[in-house]
Structure 1
Amino acid sequence: MSNPLRTSLYIISRQLDRAAGVKLSKISIASILLALGLGATGAPAEEATVLVVQAQAESGPFIEWTDHVNKEFEAAHPGVKIRLQTKSFSDLTRTLKLQLSGDKVPDVTQVNQGYASMGALVKANLLQDLSPYADKFGWGSRQANAQLAVNGRFSSDGRTFAEGPLYGMSATGAWVGLWMNKKLGQQLGFTSPPSTLAELEHDMQIAKEKGVVPMQFSGDSADGQSHYLLTLLVQSQGHPDLILDIVKGNKDISLTSAPVVKAASTLREWAEKGYFTPNWVAYKGDEAFDKFLGGDGLFAINGSWRLPLPEKTRAQDFTMLTFPSVDPNAKPIAIATGNLPWSIPTKSAHKDLAAEYIDLWTSVDIADRWIAKGGVPVTLPVNIEAALDAAKLEGPSRDAILGWSKVLNGGTPAPYPDWATPTFLNALLSGAAELGTGRITAEQYTQLLQDDYAAFQSDKE
């Protein structure tokens, strides 16, 4: 059967040829057809396969790099188009279970680790077991077993963290440490960053006396950094593995133990001495760190996901360090895991394609080029110094990548404490706000945490 539109185009071309001497070639006609969404036969052109990718809307550089990875994936997969959708961390963690239970499900999404997110999704059978893909693509050779376990393994019933099938693969590193404004430190007379907890307290006291904010810090009850500092203070006292034991659900662990009470007491003491941002309880994490990058504040507690810093920032003025311990000879400590891992929802329409997308994101080539951009990947090259030199990378990006390497290879990385229970983040942050403003004691705060932890452990039995 002839196609009316194609016949009409032919007639038009003959009329143009006769009337104006305009010759439309077969290629020209084909171009018109394609522009109208028709193939050479007049049939509708084949639609592209759309891969829906959902990512956390964090730093600008990360989203820019995600766009780059997406374009590279599209170039390697003709006929595939990626539709990127982003959510804030709070929206992603709060709404993901409902989203993945519905009909409009992304093909691949980032998922927060821990019981509140990944564990709950696994329990509800909303995530695909990635183990067959890991075997197919050799993902186990790219990351250490400990990293794979912490970032993506759960028992199939969602009850046991860091064990069982693989449900997620991290592509970038996410560690929390001490940021310092080196230029401001020099103006205050400091010749080097603090190497012990006592030196950190000394430097903050000097800054306070000279009218400088000692530490830009956020205590917001929904988006604060109190749980970061509490963890680092526990680790710094010589108990680097305690947080991992808590997240794993070790029944012999108590959050009212001396190391946790001491850490909580220190946090309250620092707040009482004025070491934190004025009105710090009202500040969100981004607000406090933006003030720090603007030159207001000697120190900050924040993560490597902030890197690379925006071009407008005087990056050379800043450094990122591992948090100092009481013992100057202690191994490096940090909250250090992969960033939100990539997972494939059970209802994904393109599981195999989604696995190829994860394979690209976690490849050595992408990791090396992310390093060159100043970002921290999960997978580090064998000769990290040579890679940094080749990229001519300096400043906080270089410091953060080296710090990440030191913690993973010779230190004690801890998971994020809020992974311990589905409601632990709320307990940590809201309780810390009460603690820092003097409304509850360190003992009351740690008991609040213990109650939350014990209730969840009881529910698991």
Structure 2
Amino acid sequence: MRVHKAVIAGAIALSLAACSPGSGSSDKTAAPTTVSTDVAKAGNVTLNLTDFWGAAEGEWIKQVITDFEKKYPNVKIVRKTEDWGQLNSTLNLQLQDAGGPDIATANNGWQSLGTLAKGGLVVNLDAYAKAYGWDKSVPTTIARQNQFTTDFKTMGSGSWFATPMARTSLIGLYYNADKLKALGIAPPTNLADLEADAAKAKAAGQIPFEYGSQDGSTTVLLGLQALLADKKKLNDYIYGDSTVKAADIGMTDAVTLTKKWADQGWFPPNFNGIDYQTAVANFVGGKGVFRWEYTGSLGLNTQQQGHFGYLQLPQQSGSGTVGVGAAPGAMVVSAKSKHPDVAAAFLNYMMSPEAGQAAVDRGLVPAMSPDVQVPPASLSLTGESAGAATLDKNDGYVPYFDWSSPTMLDTLGQNLQLLYAGKTTADKFTAAVDKDRDTFLAGQS
């Protein structure tokens, strides 16, 4: 699940980023000067792929591989699956091995992708971005998640060192459709509606938001921030623009609103003692009317999907829809691959409408695939797909906030606990966020 992967990423950062990104580029990070998109003329090619996907995600990539091999019978893709934590902690070593993967899933951010790119372990994909039109077809807010300047001082601009795929993971609002119907409440269409609905649910004896903060869950805070912050400033902050401060990106307002909801009793009693897995089980089991969550993390079966809906609420300012989201993995091509052209063609196929439909067919959230056919009985997947399509159209993605520094996830979780206990204020919370990010940036330079 995305929330736990984010936690692991913070732990891995210290070991993986032994040399923090800094200045200095080399020929190893330059894009190839000549590329080919003609896979059929490449001859017989075998590519090794390493990823961490299991369950429905694993079935999705199997289907994508099968379809690609059918399209190009001269290509064979050999897939290996590893534990997510193991893969991310060893990928830098695997890519130094001539027998390592041609294609792999990396983690976005400085702690993984930035380190691999700076070390010259993955291919600079700029030439392929132009050849396949990624620089035009991929929403810029998603493209930025895969880019670094070649002096490795800046994340979020510069050259492509990875690609997304026709799948996404978002933070949004789930609702129990049966409870809304019983309460006579329509699904909210904006933040004001949501607060009014929460007040009605509380008055009726229901828990408005199922939530537990024991292990530092940040989904409520970051979900609200996306409704309140300026999209460009929020992206710039996370990507290291030191002139933008946390107070400029809705952090103080989001913290204040989160604390207000807690004080109004809109979270479960003793929510500080509820861990993440218990909160998920409680919501799926019928407790709570709403829940902020990562898409796919509720583990809904086919029958349950008809009883839970999903919303990507618009910004409070009415300026469009913004949401926290990223592809579930950054796809990289090894610098040691003997067939980078074919590997890049496979990355391109992973972004195709066909790959998006294959995702929906397995209950996964598509991206960059506006024409996918979603099973009408799946209320949750219908909402998730609509949310992703809206963010695609609005170019409305913002990355996970913990990408702003290797220790940001801990800073957010620790200060949330202090906030709920009345031991810090929204202003001090915001100051702590700035201190964490700015300390990291100072170390970069």
* TM-score clears 0.5: yes
1:416 pairs with one of 369, 393, 400: 400
SS in 1 for 2:431: helix
**Residue of 255, 264, 267 corresponding to 2:246:** 255
Residue 83 (str. 1) matches residue 79 (str. 2):
yes
Which of 375, 382, 390 is residue 406 of structure 1 equivalent to? 390
- Between the two proteins, the alignment pairs up a number of residues equal to 400
Q: Distance in 2 between matches of 1:79 and 1:322?
A: 39
CA distance in 1: counterparts of 2:282 and 2:298, whole angstroms: 16
Q: Secondary structure at the match of 2:387?
A: helix
Paired residues of 1:256 and 1:446 also in contact (CA < 8 A): yes
Amino acid at match of 1:335: V
Q: Which residue of 2 aligns with 1:217?
A: 211
Report % sequence identity. Answer: 25
Counterpart CA distance in 1 for 2:248 and 2:142 is 30
What is the CA–CA distance in structure 1 between the aligned matches of 2:276 and 2:153, rounded to whole Å?
30
Q: Is the Cα contact below 8 Å between 1:268 and 1:438 reproduced in 2? A: no
Superposition deviation, residue 181 in structure 1: 0.8
Q: 1:108 corresponds to which letter in structure 2?
A: I
1:28 is aligned to: none
Whether the 8 Å contact between 1:123 and 1:159 is mirrored in structure 2 is no
Q: Does 1:178 align with 2:168?
A: no
Q: Deviations over 1:106-148 (max 9, x none)?
A: 332222222233223222333221223334444445423x145
Q: Deviations over 1:325-364 (max 9, x none)?
A: 445x442231134332211233456645533432332223
Q: Is residue 240 of structure 2 the alignment partner of residue 243 of structure 1?
A: no
Structure 1 counterpart SS, 2:369: coil
Q: 1:173, 1:305 within 8 Å by CA — same for their partners in 2?
A: no
Q: Which residues of 2 match residues 237-316 of structure 1 at below 5 A? A: 237=228, 239-256=230-247, 259-281=250-272, 283=274, 285-306=276-297, 309-311=300-302, 313-316=303-306
Corresponding letter in the other structure for 2:402: D
Q: Deviations over 1:343-391 (max 9, x none)?
A: 123345664553343233222322234345443322224xx4xx437x6
* Cα contact 1:55–1:109 (8 A) shared by 2: no
1:317 match: 307
Query: 1:161 offset after TM fit, Å?
Result: 1.7
After TM superposition, the score normalised by the length of structure 1 is 0.75
Does the CA contact (< 8 Å) of 1:151 and 1:338 recur in 2? Answer: no
TM-score normalised per structure 2: 0.78
1:338 and 2:334 equivalent? no
1:72/1:143 CA distance change after superposition, 3 Å: same
Contact 1:195 1:325 (8 Å CA) reproduced: no
Is 1:442 the counterpart of 2:442? The answer is no
Residue 52 of structure 2 is matched in structure 1 by 55
Q: Which amino acid aligns with 1:118?
A: L
How far did 1:450 drift? 0.9
5+ long unaligned stretches in structure 2 = 1-44
User: Partners of 1:292 and 1:348 in 2: how far apart?
Assistant: 46
Structure 1 gaps of 5+ residues are 1-47
Shift of 1:245: 2.2
Amino acid of the structure 1 residue aligned with 2:199: Q
Q: What SS does the corresponding residue of 1:215 show, helix, strand or coil? A: coil
Q: 1:113 to 1:363 in 2, by over 3 A?
A: same
Q: Which amino acid aligns with 1:361?
A: M
Conserved? CA contact 1:128–1:345, under 8 Å: yes
Are the equivalent residues in 2 in contact too, given 1:220–1:280 (CA < 8 A)? yes
Q: Secondary structure at the match of 1:106?
A: coil
Q: Once the 2 structures are TM-superposed, how far is the Cα of residue 193 of structure 1 from its aligned partner?
A: 1.6
